[in-house]
Amino acid sequence: MNAPRLEFADSDGRAAYRTRTRWRSRPWALMMLLVAWPIPLMVGLLLFRVGALLDRWVGFGLVGVWLSFGLLIQLAKPILGTGDPRMPRTPTPEEAAVLAPAWSDVVETLGIDESVYHLAVRDKQGSDGVADHRGGGFVMISAAAVHEFSPAELRALMSHEIGHLIGDGGTIVFGLSWELTDLARQPFTIVQRAVFRIGWPEWIGHIVTTLLWLGLYAAFGALLNHWFGPLATIGFAVGALVQGIGINGIRRRNQLNADRIAVDLGHGPSARAILDRRMRYDRLSPPMIWSQPPALRASAFLLRNLGPEPFQGVRLLAIDKRLHARTPRCLTRSGSREGGETGEIPPSGLPDLGGS
């Protein structure tokens, strides 16, 4: 099946592409809705029973406060300019001069107005870009990427993040599930941070915090067994395992789908260049895994199907496959044909897994 070339499509073709992309995400959103709740349900029942030790209505109130905070955090619009490097901020005039042309080009190719989504900058080190569905949708570009990426690579990065906003399945449900679970973990997270502020060696801090978290999970299991019985405890444990595997599987799909959208917007080569430069050499990629020992092949299979992120080789191969599916010429709605860019496919047709 030929892949679309949105850079040459008309407004009707671009609108149809956006609609089709959103429809394709709905089954994944339904799957996320089905798998994202065992752990929050377990936490909610434990909170109710803790509150019910005083009174049943105290238990209901405790659960209500917990749900309300989770909803508020998930639905609140990100606050710009707080001074916290983890939070987004408005681009400086110098950054805006770099980002504005790339942003205008990407949203125009997708066929939407610039005001539909918000562009922001984040100073925190880590991901080059982040998509946040809250507040109508934010595309956050790291300050490092603004200064280091070429204009073509910025377009590819923005295309990938917008791809998350229009094509992700179940991200809001996942975010709510995460926030509800994270709220219950906050007392233990505060203790963990306090442990690392103590002046002992870092490896001791890791051992202490690992023991604390193991104790937390053991306490959860003991309370579940005490209040709901062993069958319910086993059921929640299996549900938590299914939740983790299911959520990570959908997140891997969302990442690959965002790469696909970046290719469809005409930025596949630059998206590939970012992966080559930013990501580690992947010995467990599909073309190379068969040269590894059997134990490593088995580990690769488990990691590839349990982790939240696709491996470098998987993403590169998916991008190359999508690039090959793009026809060299595009038939527009008016019937005329237009040529496309060159240099999309590596000479071998396969990714350079050695990195750059």
Residue for token digits 């987004």? 88
Cα separation, 133 vs 147, whole angstroms: 25
CB 125 within 8 A of CB 224: no
- Both tokens of 219, joined, read 């306490």
In angstroms, the Cα distances linking 47 to 128, 219, 260, 272, 291 are 38, 13, 42, 46, 50
The confidence score (pLDDT) of residue 196 equals: 80
Cα separation, 165 vs 184, whole angstroms: 28
Burial label, 11 (beta-carbon count in 10 A; 0-12, 13-18, 19+): exposed
CB 131 within 8 A of CB 255: no
In angstroms, the Cα distances linking 49 to 239, 269, 323 are 20, 55, 55
CA 101 to chain centre: 25
Measuring CA to CA, which residue among 191, 185, 355 is closest to residue 280?
355
- Both tokens of 247, joined, read 């959520």
* Every domain range in the chain assigned CATH 3.30.2010.10: 79-167
Burial label, 85 (beta-carbon count in 10 A; 0-12, 13-18, 19+): exposed
Cα separation, 11 vs 93, whole angstroms: 31
Burial label, 3 (beta-carbon count in 10 A; 0-12, 13-18, 19+): middle
Please list the ranges in the chain whose pLDDT falls under 50: 329-356
Q: How many residues does the chain have?
A: 356
CA 107 to chain centre: 20
Contacts of 87 (CB under 8 A, 6+ apart): 78, 79, 80, 122
**pLDDT tens sequence across 97-121:** 999 999 999 999 999 988 889 999 9
Give me the amino acid identity at 342. T
Burial label, 172 (beta-carbon count in 10 A; 0-12, 13-18, 19+): middle
CATH number for the region 79-167 comes to 3.30.2010.10
Contacts of 280 (CB under 8 A, 6+ apart): 312, 355
Burial label, 282 (beta-carbon count in 10 A; 0-12, 13-18, 19+): buried
The confidence score (pLDDT) of residue 335 equals: 37
CB 248 within 8 A of CB 177: no
- Both tokens of 34, joined, read 């089905």
**Which residues lie across from 119 on neighbouring strands?**
139
